[in-house]
């Protein structure tokens, strides 16, 4: 299996899988998902670079058992200290996370915290996927120059409607509008993405990858979905 290096993370299109707090992606199940991807990607130069975002309790073990880049699903910018019960950037890194998802539509944060967490992550040389519901929110978070801006139109979340199939021109428009703010922004498309064809359309239209969740984790046959996505 190839090494998933930092350079890959930034130079190839990305398929990021948010494991959320589903039971199907907890503990051993998270490891199985990672292992399955590794076995599929035997090629030295796979087209899509995988990212997996497990629950905080799974980061340390997963980071030991896979070379796939692990991202935390959220973190606070707090320094080490008296922050009982919080997941902080520095501890996520210590556990093996290479990056963070922040401001997910299920875990919205204040504007100033977005800046603080991105700043804290950069100090730790960690990558940040900053989520946004709308084009204007995506432009706003691009002002802080996260490594990735993920846009999930909320009207598409959890539906069978794929932005890729329905409206590929919208992807072009999203990409253009965000890059007007941050010319080198790496943009992930979320919500409604399920098939490899969807991913290919996103990338063909200028995006740098996709952010998936239930399409993988809640699939009847996870292996088959992973094989389609990464094969």
CA of residue 25 relative to chain centroid, distance: 15
Q: Look at the block and give the residue holding tokens 């035997």.
A: 42
Residue 17: CB atoms within 10 A of its CB come to 27
Closest by Cα among 182, 100, 108, 186 to 148: 186
CA angle 17–162–188, rounded 5-degree value: 45
Residue range at the interface with a copy of itself (CB under 8 A); choices 3-11, 91-99, 160-168, 197-205: 91-99
Q: Among 14, 15, 17, 18, which residue sits at the site for a copy of itself (rule: CB under 8 A)? A: 18
* Between 180 and 197, CB nearer to a copy of itself: 180
- Distance of alpha carbon 208 from alpha carbon 121, whole angstroms: 21
Q: Least distance from C-beta 97 to a copy of itself, angstroms?
A: 8
- Distance of alpha carbon 137 from alpha carbon 45, whole angstroms: 33
Q: Which residue(s) pair with 71 in the sheet?
A: 99
* Between 28 and 169, CB nearer to a copy of itself: 28
Active site residue 104: yes
Q: Among 139, 148, 164, 191, which residue sits at the site for a copy of itself (rule: CB under 8 A)? A: 139
Closest by Cα among 45, 152, 57 to 97: 57
Active site residue 3: no
Closest by Cα among 37, 35, 99, 104 to 69: 99
Active-site residue (options: 152, 155, 166, 228): 152
Q: Among 3, 44, 45, 136, which residue sits at the site for a copy of itself (rule: CB under 8 A)? A: 136
Q: Among 1, 8, 36, 56, which residue sits at the site for a copy of itself (rule: CB under 8 A)? A: 56
Please, which of residues 61-80 interact with a copy of itself by CB under 8 A? 61, 72-75, 78, 80
Interface residues toward a copy of itself, by CB under 8 A: 18, 20-23, 26-27, 55-61, 72-75, 78, 80-88, 90-92, 94-95, 101, 103-115, 132-134, 136-137, 139-141, 143-144, 158, 181, 213-214
Any idea which residues carry the catalytic annotation?
A: 104, 152
């Amino acid at each position: 299996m190839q090494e998933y290096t930092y350079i890959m993370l930034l130079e190839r299109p990305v398929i990021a899988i948010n494991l959320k707090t589903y039971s199907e992606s907890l503990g051993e199940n998270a490891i199985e998902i990672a292992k399955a991807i590794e076995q599929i990607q035997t090629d030295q130069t796979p087209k899509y670079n995988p990212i997996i975002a497990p629950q905080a309790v799974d980061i340390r073990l997963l980071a030991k058992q896979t070379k796939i880049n692990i991202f935390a699903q959220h973190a606070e910018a707090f320094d080490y200290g008296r922050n009982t019960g919080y997941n902080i950037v520095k501890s996520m890194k210590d556990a093996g996370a290479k990056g963070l998802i922040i401001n997910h539509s299920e875990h919205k944060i204040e504007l100033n915290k977005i800046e603080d967490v991105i700043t804290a992550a950069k100090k730790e040389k960690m990558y940040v996927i900053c989520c946004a519901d709308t084009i204007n929110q995506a432009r706003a978070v691009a002002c802080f120059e996260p490594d990735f801006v993920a846009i999930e139109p909320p009207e598409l979340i959890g539906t069978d409607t794929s932005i890729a199939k329905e409206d590929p021109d919208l992807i072009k428009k999203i990409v253009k509008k965000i890059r007007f703010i941050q010319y080198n922004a790496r943009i992930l498309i979320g919500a409604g993405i399920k098939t490899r064809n969807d991913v290919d359309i996103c990338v063909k239209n200028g995006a740098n990858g996709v952010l998936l969740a239930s399409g993988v984790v809640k699939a009847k046959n996870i292996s088959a979905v992973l094989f389609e996505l990464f094969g």
